Structure 1
Amino acid sequence: MTQGVEMDGMMTHAALSPSAHLDSFARDNLPPREQWPVFLLDRPEFRYPARLNCAVELLDRNLERGRADHPAIVTPAETLTYRQLAERVNRIADVLVRQLGFVPGNRVLLRSANNAWMIAAYFAVLKAGGVVVATMPLLRAKELGQMLRKARISHALCDARLVEELRKAEAPDLKHLVTWGDGALEAMCEAASPDFAACDTAADDVCLLGFTSGSTGEPKATMHFHRDMLAICDGYSAQVLRPEASDVFIGSPPLAFTFGLGGLVLFPFRVGATAVLLEKAPPEELPAAIARYRATVCFTAPTAYRVMAALATQHDLSSLRKCVSAGETLPKPVFEAWQAATGLKLMDGIGATEMLHIFIGAREDQIRPGATGLPVPGYEAKVVDESGNEVPRGTPGRLAVRGPTGCRYLADPRQAAYVQKGWNITGDTYVQDEDGYFWYQARNDDMIISAGYNIAGPEVEVALLTHPAVKECGVVGAPDGERGMVVRAYVVLHPGHAPDEATTKALQDHVKREIAPYKYPRSIVFVDALPRTETGKLQRFALRQAAQTETAA
């Protein structure tokens, strides 16, 4: 079957298949076709049939393959086999259609921590032909309202413990809100059928709206098709991670974060493995959970691995065989600390909500410490200048990528900025070396220009983290009348180190020895904690705002 048409030697997506959506909102609000990236769909693993429901492929196929009685989900509260999960999914889908007036194409907001009911609700929406909008548990009414209005959401399924903020949100289109954990959805499921025929969706029907964790302004919603959900499994997971059916996955990212969705649900389900879901998995507690559940594959952020490395001797982590790090850049000292503590090489990777999951990474035998890695098979990447022209190897520039997944914003003029000349411009500054490896420098807006020098904040962070006094740090530019900007470091110290002038000088001298002296932080601010997102990502925008305010004051 033809999945695309040839254009200038590249494969781009052909005309859309007839949609199964009776509610056409999602397809009606796809970006203009001329603003789509080029999609590379010519590899055999990405040649999906025109009619495709990803819930069937990821869940129901495991019943056909003899995995029905294998644990699909393990939580502290319950364990569900693939057969049990499929039945719960069918009952929720039946509730949506027969009791709540749901039709294919409706958007359904899901609100919960990582647990079995969240997964069952997620797959029920997919199987019924709906569009999932999963949300972070810590979001408040204002943020939820923005999503509800932007996506014209009609239905919501919510953990009863988190319903208060949702009820306060301004949502004129929301007609049905059902909670679980208080018996409401459970009772409806008791009366529902355990059988449900999957909606005959098109492979290119929208099934997921992933809202970006933007720092300010109107949030962007990224649009993903049923085939995209499989493409990340058949791309990064199958060809770089390479899990097995016997694997037990564990990690900390929320399922509303596509890093967590792939790493904790889609990847294990694609091979019939087991997912351990923890509602709370701070780095101080994750090692104990790894030991308890004998987890083999871990997904979390670099900051968590740094904390966990220091705790590794207190827990039996011998079951681990693969550990993936993403969400922010992986500093080399963290890589080295984890390898020293466990003997395992961290698998770094860069992904984006717009791309759904990781598109540059490396298998264990290809890892170069400090480098993000190589393009995932099926993806192409290059470093370009402001005009989109590829720069010489070794030269910093903007990262451009394309592959089987790519950016489609829901009715958003910012589409034209993210996709340029058919390439996804991720907003990251990278260097590609002569061997093709990509080395992260900074987010484009994290480059600090001081007295004519370009300084990457993350590089200074890596240098600071090699000092024994530094527990955590974040580096940004602060306005300066003489130099334009100076490097400012916000530093969390380990206990026993004083936040005084002597420590400041010691850290500055240390950085001068580690990297080019002009990059040292001329300003150091000691803080008790750094601002982070729910996924553990450092909020550098908050540090930049603080630097602006402090300088103005």
Structure 2
Amino acid sequence: MLGPSAHTDTFARDRLPPASEMPDFLLQGFDYPERLNVAVELTDRMVAKGFGDRTALIGNGRQRTYKELTDWSNRLARALVENYRVRPGNRVLIRSANNPAMVACWLAATKAGAVVVNTMPMLRAGELAKIVDKAEPVLALCDTRLMDELVACAKDNRFPEQVVGFDGTANHDAELDRIALSKSVRFEAVNTGRDDVALLGFTSGTTGVPKATAHFHRDLLIVADGYAKEVLGVTPDDVFVGSPPLAFTFGLGLAIFPLRFGAAAALLEDASPAKMIEIIETYRATICFTAPTAYRAMLAAADGGADLSSLRFAVSAGETLPAPVFQDWMRKTGRPILDGIGATEMLHIFISNRLDDLAPASTGRPVTGYEAKIVDDDMVELPRGTVGRLAVRGPTGCRYLTDPRQREYVRGGWNLTGDSFLQDEAGYFHFAARSDDMIISAGYNIAGPEVEAALLSHPDVRECAVVGAVDPDRGQIVQAHVVLAGGVPPDADTTKRLQDHVKATIAPYKYPRSVKFTPALPKTETGKIQRFKLRTEA
């Protein structure tokens, strides 16, 4: 049963799944008032608590205090309401790289009661069209440096109705900025309900057509008051840095988590490993967020003597953390690296290692408030040590916007994430594969990520992805797509050397019978390897 709403445009609530298709929400311990605006909680409320003079955001050569961010987002919110006629419940699309201006626009639109649709900055017009067709935004706010594709999208579609530029460099030299600068720093934020949709997060596309996932105001606080508080132990002295785009729900934690606890976020438009290291050294960052492939690249970049001593720990998500990357990072930095699993549908990480309880090749235990189990195709729980489908439920969960795939993701109140896991006798969860990454060869079940981890432990391999390829004799064979380290020849001797290494590292039947060398792997903007493209090719 949904609580009261402030939305006069009921588009998002009208398109939520029916109650019979919703997952169970376990909200004990997450008690918020019926009326809640998450943007107010992250800005105005923090100023009222005494954080006004502390640094909130770092980016593009500037630092913004909590008071400055509050005033900035209030001016922008006034502009959205008074000049662009944004009404509560309207969808507002935002297109930008990670920078303070994007965060200010997100907060402003949320204060105005809008449903925000953050989009990846590298999407093309055709990809944006799929999003606007689903979300029907009345307004798009776009960094002026990224306008071309969005303008092309708007020209060919009914939505967005308006495209307005803002200055992502923080010089305030764009239409939205100039209007906002004339506004008062005081704004009476819309008194949204805790169950009003605040955000539409679109799936990253590793399995094809993206889906819109609806997240409430309460959800954005739950992931901070749960995962960030319990697992990360965020304090006002922390400085976050990371590579995931804020448009990716994993990346949105780079803004929500520090702002919830009075900490600071260092936002990077260029999140290359070298730049990440530079920012860590310059601002003495304490918490780093990125994907496993980036940690491997950062280790290579750090061999020149980079100082990572300010880090308390690193967080890995987006795909499973291979044991060789975990071990190399621990050995070279002396800092813990926390693996976890999240999903756009669940908003953020729901199973994680802890600082006092971590191990390679283990994803850990559920975050407080969540329950998880391993089930078969009929939702029957499997014995410990058996690979099956991961089912989870907790204070957040899947709400697809008008999508029949809701019935596939949610069954019997549980969210089926599309991952194959096993739970050991001690209760720890171990990733096996995406459910569609399980390779069945001559009757053997082979998890692609296990073969990847074996390959990554060889010095000749920089990156790799493993998929199943059709074979007339065995049904499928293991096929490895490998990016070699510099100077290693892509020849038959290298193929045999890697195959022999896998045979010596894991069960011999799991070795890749097909090895294809490639200069780069297909990836989403979030850094996830698009294995569905490799499977199609195979």
Matches within 5 A, 1:251-400: 251-262=242-253, 264-313=254-303, 314-400=305-391
Q: In the alignment, what sits opposite 2:170? A: none
| In 1, Cα distance between equivalents of 2:293 and 2:209 | 28
> What is the distance in 1 between the residues matched to 2:78 and 2:214?
25
Asked whether the equivalents of residues 92 and 137 of structure 2 are also in contact (C-alpha less than 8 Å), the reply is yes
Q: Distance in 2 between matches of 1:523 and 1:93?
A: 56
2:7 alignment partner AA: H
Tell me the residue number matched to 1:509: 500
Match of residue 108, structure 2, among 124, 145, 165: 124
**Match 1:421 to one of 412, 415, 436:** 412
Residue aligning to 2:535: 544
Q: How much does 1:67 deviate? A: 0.6
1:41-190 correspondence runs (5 A):
41-43=27-29, 46-169=30-153, 170-181=156-167, 182-190=173-181
CA distance in 2, matches of 1:364, 1:155: 43
2:491 alignment counterpart = 500
Letter paired with 1:34: S
For 2:494 and 2:85, how far apart are their aligned partners in 1?
64
TM-score by length of 2: 0.97
> What's the CA shift for 1:175?
2.2
Q: How far is the alpha carbon of 1:216 from its aligned partner? A: 6.0
Residue in 2 that maps onto 1:8? none
Deviates more, 1:58-67 or 1:198-207: 58-67
1:112-147 residue CA offsets vs partner (Å, 9 max, x unmatched) = 001111000000111111100000000011111111
Between the aligned partners of 2:27 and 2:377, the Cα distance in structure 1 is: 27
Match of 2:473 in 1: 482
Which residue identity lines up with residue 432 of structure 2 in the other structure? Q
> Are the aligned partners of 2:24 and 2:414 in contact in 1 as well (CA < 8 Å)?
yes
- For the aligned residue pairs, the C-alpha RMSD in angstroms reads 1.0
Are 1:464 and 2:455 matched, yes or no?
A: yes
Tell me, yes or no, if the aligned pair for 1:312 and 1:342 is still in contact at 8 Å: no
Q: Offset at 1:217?
A: 5.1
Q: Are the counterparts in 1 of residues 206 and 529 from structure 2 also a CA contact under 8 Å? A: no
Q: How far does the alpha carbon of each residue in 1:214-244 deviate from its partner, in whole angstroms, 9 at most, with x for none?
A: 2465421000000000000011100111111
| CA drift at 1:82 | 0.5
Aligned mates of 1:491, 1:34 — CA distance in 2: 45
Counterpart code for 2:274:
E
Q: What is the CA distance between 1:310 and its match in structure 2?
A: 2.3
The aligned residue for residue 21 of structure 2 is 35
Is contact 1:477–1:488 with CA below 8 Å preserved after alignment? yes
CA distance in 2, matches of 1:85, 1:141: 31
User: Structure 1 counterpart of 2:87, which letter?
Assistant: V
2:5 is aligned to 19
In structure 1, list runs of 5 or more residues that go unmatched. Answer: 1-14, 548-553
**Whole-angstrom distance in 2 between the partners of 1:498 and 1:216:** 32
Aligned position for 2:524: 533
Q: Does the 8 A contact of 1:30 with 1:411 survive in 2?
A: yes
Mapped partners of 1:216, 1:492: distance in 2: 22
- In the alignment of these two chains, the number of paired residues is 530
What TM-score do the two structures reach when normalised by structure 1?
A: 0.95
Amino acid in structure 2 at the alignment position of 1:110: I
Q: Is the contact between residue 316 and residue 337 of structure 2 (CA under 8 Å) also seen in structure 1?
A: yes
What are the Cα deviations for residues 305-336 of structure 1, in whole angstroms up to 9, with x where unaligned?
11112232421111111210001110000000
Note the residue ranges of structure 2 that are not aligned, 5 or more in a row. 168-172
d(CA) in 2 for partners of 1:123, 1:183: 18
Distance 1:307 1:70 in 2: 32
